[in-house]
Structure 1
């Protein structure tokens, strides 16, 4: 936790005083006595992530191939290739099971 001086605005440091711990300013004589445990938490708001695959609409016009689903062992799967890393790396192949009851997604 960071506190700032009320008079000059500098960061207060924690030091041990005559009556226990206190916040003190290096620039001026301002002192803030610590009477009890001080704590506060601020959780950052996480930004929404974009779907790399383009959402459910991305699977509408894709081809299928003979690739066995690791979940239901269906013999065919839809696939698409996307460049997810740098240009000198190979493309990532994403699969989706053709079985409508399964619909399992995986990648290679």
Structure 2
């Protein structure tokens, strides 16, 4: 989307006609901007993956409620859990489980 630098109105697109290239024009003032056929890349920027932060820290697990849930990794029968409303209000909450088995620490989620 392009906006008119003089009046701020959204510019409209006009198809190329005969020898005139495609262009943007302002419907309220005489501003016209011709569109170049080549795209110029000014700089390349590498995207960096962000580290995912846990929803519950290890300190919060001490006070988290415990339920009977089987760990998919070690088959331990108890896990701490935390529920979060991730989607709209008419959808069920997402439940995050944390295995309480020794040296496991597996985390999984049920929607």
- When normalised by structure 1's length, the TM-score is 0.55
Gaps of 5+ in 1: 41-48
Which residue pairs with 2:9 in the alignment?
A: 10
Aligned length: 95
1:32-82, Cα deviation, whole Å (9 max, x unpaired) = 122334588xxxxxxxx986x5422111245656543221123x4233464
Q: Check whether the contact 2:70–2:79 (CA below 8 A) recurs between aligned residues.
A: no
CA distance in 1, matches of 2:108, 2:26: 57
Aligned counterparts, 1:1-108, within 5 A: 1-4=1-4, 6-15=5-14, 16-17=16-17, 18-37=19-38, 54-62=56-64, 67-74=69-76, 76-80=77-81, 82=83, 84=85, 94-107=96-109
Cα distance in 2 for partners of 1:93, 1:30 equals: 55
CA separation of 1:84 and 1:35: change in aligned 2, threshold 3 A? closer
Q: Secondary structure at the match of 1:59?
A: helix
Give the unaligned 5+ runs of structure 2: 42-51
Instruction: Return the TM-score normalized by structure 2.
Output: 0.54
Distance 1:14 1:38, change over 3 A: farther
User: Structure 1 residues 64, 8: CA separation in 2 closer, same or farther (over 3 Å shift)?
Assistant: closer
Cα RMSD, aligned residues only: 3.8
Q: Distance in 2 between matches of 1:35 and 1:104?
A: 54
